[in-house]
Amino acid sequence: MRKKKEHAGLDLALEAYAKSDFYPFHMPGHKRVPAAAFNPYTVDITEIDGFDNLHAPKGILKEAQERAANLYGAKKTYYLVNGSTCGILAAISAAVSFGGKILMSRNAHKSAFHAAFLRHLSVIYTNPHTTQFGIAGSADSTDIQKKLRENPEIEAVFLTSPTYEGIVSNIAEIAGIVHAHGIPLIVDEAHGAHLGFGEYFPDTAVHLGADVVVQSMHKVLPSLTQTALLHIDPTSVSSKAVERYLDIYETSSPSYVLMGGMERCVRLLEEDGSRLFAEYTKRLQVFYEKAKNLSRIHLLSTEDISSGEVYARDPSKLVIFVGDTDLTGSACYHTLRNTYHLQMEMHAGSYVLGMTSIMDTAEGFDRLYAALEEIDRRAVVLKDKKQAFARQHKELYAPKEKKMELHEAMERQSVCVPLEKAAGKICACTVSLYPPGIPILLPGETIEPGFIKNIRKCIKTGQNLQGIADIINEKIEIVDFETVSCTQNMRVRE
C-alpha cells in the first residue's frame, strides 16, 4: 500500500503563522487582531431575504455605503470587495471613453495600466519628482499643467497619492489645474484610507477636490483583505457609468464576510476613531523620536525631504534606509524576519518598508526598535553607497520612449529573447518590482541598454522582479513584428 504523501497545506501553514510570535509590520491593517469574535462560517451567506444586493442596493447595504460616505465626507461611496484594483478599473473606464486619452502618473499601480489596455486608451505619462533617497516623490504639478495644455483631448487625470512609501501630492493644487481644463481628477489613495483622521496625518483627497478617490480599507485599517471604498462626485463622473463598470469588474457573489467586516470597521471609526488615532499617533511619535538614536541606518522622516521633492508625508509608513551601510534592503529585511521574527511589508535595494495601523501595539514598536538598534550597531558605513542606490532607482523609473500604445503592443505576437539581444527592441510585457507593483517597463516601450544593466542589479540584490519571462536565463518578451498575431488575422479576415 502506497504511503500517503504528507504536506503542510495552506490552511495549516496559516494556522501555524497565526500561533507564532511573528509580529506583522505588513498589511492588512487589522494586524490579525479581531475587533470581536467573528466566525466566518456562521455569517457567510449569499443575497438572501433581508440582506440586500451589492449590485442593486436598496436596504442594509445602501445604508452601509451611506454611512461610509458620511464618515469620509464623500458625496457617494461604493463598497468594493475586489480591492482597490476593481475601483481603479471602474473609475478609469467610467471617466474616459473607449479609445480616449488619459494623463497618468508613471508610478501608477498596474491596475491603472490594465484599465488603459482594456479600454484601448492612449496614455500620456507624467513623472513624479525623485527624492535624494531614490524613492518617488510627489506629482509634478508643473508637468501636469504642461501636458494638459499640450494635449487638450485628455479626458481625465489619474494620480497615486500617497505612494507605497507614504509620499503625498498636493491634491488641492492639482485638482484646481485639472478642473480648469474641465476634466475629472482620479486619485488612487489605496494606501490612504486613514488619511484625514487626526492632525498627525495629511488630509484625504476626498476633502481636497478629487472627483474620484479609491481607498483600500484593508491596507491601513482593521478590515479584511480585498475590502476597499470608491468615493465619487456624481456631478463630475457619472454614477450610472461607475455602476455599469463595477458590475463588470466586481464579482457577482460579493462576500458578506468582507462586507460585514467593512461595516464593523466603519462603526469602530465612527464610535472610537478619535481615541484610537490619538493613541496611535503617540506610539508613532515615540518610535520616530527613539529612531533618531540610530547612527548608521535611518528612519525616513519629514525633515529628510525638501518641499520641492515632496509635498507631504504619511508617517504611518516606516521607511528604513540602509543605503549608507554594508547592508542591502533584502539583507535587513531577512534579518528582521529570521532573527527577530518581525515580518515587514517589503524591501527594495536600499530600504525596508514597514506598514503600521491603529491596531499596532507599543510592544510591537518596541520589538522593532530593539532589533534595529542591534542591526545598527553591527552595520558598517560605506561611503557613496546611498547615492548609487538612488541613481539606480532614478534610472529604473526614468521616462521610457513609448513606441506603441499598451493595447497595440499587448495584442501583437511576442517572442522571448535573451536580455543582451533585447536592447533597442519594443517590450511586450510589464516588468515591475513587487511589491508595490509599479511598472518599470511597459508594453510598447523601448528596452534600453541601461535598463538591462539595472535589471541585472535588481536580480543580484534579491529584489522581487516580476514580468521577466525567464529570470534565471535572463530572457524577456519583445514585440514580434515578423509573426502575425491571431487578433491581426481576425481583423484581416473581417
Report helix, strand or coil for 346: strand
Percentage above 90 pLDDT, the chain: 78
Neighbouring CB atoms inside 10 A of 384's CB total 8
266-280: average pLDDT: 97
Of 83, 89, 94, 110, nearest in space to 215 by CA: 83
Q: What is the pLDDT of residue 3?
A: 56
Q: What is the pLDDT of residue 405?
A: 95
423-446: average pLDDT: 89
Q: Are the beta carbons of 202 and 171 closer than 8 angstroms?
A: no
* DSSP-derived secondary structure letter, 297: S
Percentage above 70 pLDDT, the chain: 95
Q: What sign results for the dihedral spanned by CA atoms 401, 404, 405, 407? A: negative
Q: What is the pLDDT of residue 7?
A: 65
Cell numbers found for residue 182:
474641465
Report helix, strand or coil for 409: helix
CA distance 241 to 218: 26
Q: State how far Cα 225 lies from the chain centre.
A: 14
Mean pLDDT across the chain: 92
CATH number of this structure's domain 400-485, picked from the four choices 3.40.50.2300, 1.50.10.10, 3.90.100.10, 3.10.20.740: 3.90.100.10
Q: Domain map of the chain by residue range?
A: 273-383, 400-485
Cell numbers found for residue 379:
552595520
Mapped to the 3 state alphabet, what secondary structure does 208-225 carry?
A: CCCCEEEEEHHHHCCCCC
Query: Tens of pLDDT along 314-332?
Result: 999 999 999 889 999 999 9
Q: What is the pLDDT of residue 5?
A: 58
Higher pLDDT, 170 or 130: 170
The yes-or-no answer to whether 273-383 and 400-485 have a common fold is no
Q: What is the pLDDT of residue 251?
A: 97
Q: What is the pLDDT of residue 464?
A: 80
pLDDT at 342 over 70: yes
In this predicted structure, which of 42-46, 80-84, 379-383 has the lowest mean pLDDT?
A: 379-383
What end-to-end distance do the CA atoms of the chain give, in Å? 60
Report helix, strand or coil for 480: coil
Where residue 125 falls among pLDDT bands split at 50, 70, 90? Answer: very high
At position 354, the amino acid (one-letter code) is: G
CATH architecture of 273-383: Alpha-Beta Complex (3.90)
Query: Tens of pLDDT along 3-58?
Result: 555 667 999 999 999 999 999 999 999 999 876 557 889 999 999 999 999 999 99
Max Cα-Cα span within the chain: 76
Where residue 373 falls among pLDDT bands split at 50, 70, 90? Answer: very high
pLDDT at 60 over 90: yes
Q: What is the pLDDT of residue 134?
A: 78
Q: What is the pLDDT of residue 489?
A: 46
- Full-model pTM: 0.93
Of 349, 333, 360, 364, nearest in space to 396 by CA: 349
Where residue 399 falls among pLDDT bands split at 50, 70, 90? Answer: confident
Of 19, 23, 17, 28, nearest in space to 370 by CA: 23
The residues that bridge with 427 in the sheet, in sequence order, are 478
Q: What is the pLDDT of residue 22?
A: 97
Q: What is the pLDDT of residue 4?
A: 58
Determine how β-strand 346-347 pairs with β-strand 351-355: antiparallel
Q: What is the pLDDT of residue 492?
A: 39
CA distance 22 to 17: 7
Q: What sign results for the dihedral spanned by CA atoms 78, 255, 161, 281? A: positive
